[in-house]
Amino acid sequence: MDLSVSYLGLKLRNPFLVGASPLVYELDTVQELEAGGAAGIVMHSLFEEQIVRENVHGLPHFEDNKGIFKESGQFPLTPANYLEHLSLLKKHLRIPVIASLNGIRLGTWIEYARRMEEAGADGIELNLYLIPRSDTAPSSEVERKLLNIVKAVKEHLSIPLAVKISPFFSGLPRFVKRLEESGAHAVVLFNSFFQPDIDIENACYKASFKELESNALLLRTRWIATLHGRTGLDLSLNGGVKSPEDAVKGLMAGADSIQLVSFLLNNGPRFMRYFIDAFEEWMEGHGYETISQMQGILSFSQSSNTEAGARASYLRMLQSWRPPGLKDKRGSKL
């Protein structure tokens, strides 16, 4: 059985990457994931706030805003330690290591992307975490800013570039096409945003992190199925994959790689091998010998009229749904 795929121009032994998470903090854990079959590692993001705190102590601007930039001890690694850890992983692993960067200013994106390449990264994932709050800047301006970041960073790199985005674009296929034109090699669908909960007793916001459940997969597979066959970018599914069967859904929609996070965090790195073995067992039981045989078979590129098909499916869903226990006019359960 051949599970090999290509992602970011890299030959991977299977589609399963360890996504950006605390799983990469310790070398022993990463080595266990590699031994379990992980095809590659995406490091957690290096944030501009870390870089700013490291470099601007004593400056008036920093002193005015130091409450925003958390103490360095709250970050797992300083910028210098991040680059050292990246080099350490490259030294001890045989699988690709993809660095991740979440910046604000263009200069930061460019400088640290270059440093990551120099530290040995096989690729870089740009984490475009931007929530527009202005009521004057048009959506085209927001997109232009993001595209300029991608283009500028790519011009200073010789390694491939993936871009991690949110689903909140009014014309997502067109934006992805423009990412390709700006030099990206892959798009990661999707980012997970900070969504604070409301404490109604104390009338305040409170930090709340909830891992993505399998129903988060629906949005991701829909857009991957939409983009497959319509872009030259590789498509990486991030979020909502809780089982080998979820991975099958992503690949059938058209994903080139699957990023695993919550499954491994909940079960431990030793379950990397279980996941791949169970996935292979499913493939064998359903007559698949290669990933390419299933990849994209349920993408919308397989339909001659995707809009009509989507609307027809929507109508069928609305008309067929009934609350549990509801009876029809003849008294029998629906």
One pLDDT digit (tens) per residue for the chain, 334 residues: 999 999 999 999 999 999 999 999 999 999 999 999 999 999 999 988 777 766 544 434 434 444 444 444 556 788 999 999 999 999 999 999 999 999 878 888 899 999 999 999 999 999 987 777 778 888 888 899 999 999 999 999 999 999 999 998 889 999 999 999 999 999 999 998 767 888 889 999 887 666 666 678 999 999 999 999 999 999 999 999 999 999 999 999 999 999 999 999 999 999 999 999 999 999 999 999 999 999 999 998 876 666 666 677 667 777 777 777 666 555 555 4
Beta strands in 5-132 (DSSP E): 5-7, 10-12, 16-18, 40-47, 97-102, 123-127
Q: Are 26 and 41 in contact (CB under 8 A)?
A: no
131 CB-side CA count, 13 A: 5
Superfamily of domain 5-301: Aldolase class I (3.20.20.70)
Q: What is the pLDDT of residue 212?
A: 67
Q: What is the pLDDT of residue 195?
A: 76
Q: What angle do CA 13, 179, 166 make, to 5 degrees?
A: 80
Rounded Cα distance between 136 and 310, Å, is 34
Q: What is the pLDDT of residue 319?
A: 77
Each domain of the chain, given as residue ranges in start order, spans 5-301
